[in-house]
Structure 1
Amino acid sequence: MNVGVFGRTVELDAGRVAVSEAELRAQVGEYVAGDRRTFDVSVALPDGFVGDVMAEMRAIPYGETRTYGELADALDTAPVAVGQACGKNPVPLVVPCHRVVGAESLGGYSAGDGPALKRRLIEHERNAGD
């Protein structure tokens, strides 16, 4: 399913979440409006390494970021492998891969229009309390 986020389209695999598409759209809308910091949905994580990386991403608090290297250290792997797994996240935004950044750059983003949306999501979360 596709959802609108800050004028961009983000594709979410609705089959990975345990809520209706209408409920998921409502929660995305609340997030964009600044009224929601977490998604109240159960996510079926893929088996294997991608699922392991997604579990680490889910633990990153709203408004904070972690580097690919920090996640790699936690998973005893390489930052490049973490980045590749982030790109396979079937539910970006719900599992916040936008909160994973490079040590010296923003890094990539597979949703919307890529890094521009990633930057907007990070700014949105950092400014939510203002």
Structure 2
Amino acid sequence: MTDHSDSAEHLVLTASAWQDWLDSLCDLPDGPAALSPEDRPKEAQPLDAYGLSAYAEALLSAEVDGELWDTYGDLELEGAQDEESAWREIKAFYADRGYALVTVQGTEEPEEWILAPELVSRLKLREFTQGR
């Protein structure tokens, strides 16, 4: 499912599609890539969720600490009383700038990542979304 409301994209993945996508990622000298194992150069390093977090603008994840309050402060946002409202403001900040929100469904805890549109394309994320 892809939602193009405003200029931001909202991509929804099942937990298994999210894992399949993560399994396709590797780190190359020129940055992250999504390649099948047979297409990967020998020097390519696998890229897990923790490694991917270095390329994300922001994230809310049980697996990786997204340092929510640090991100909130870096964006110079103010007034949030709890993590839920801080995350809403962070999502709105990036949505206004055309960044993609990635939501993983079927996880015990919320799993949402904010990625640059160029990164979404480079990493072939749309190929793993629901309704592909």
State the TM-score, normalized to the length of structure 1: 0.30
Could you say which structure has the higher helix fraction?
1
Which has the higher Rg, Structure 1 or Structure 2? 2
Could you say which structure has the higher strand fraction?
2
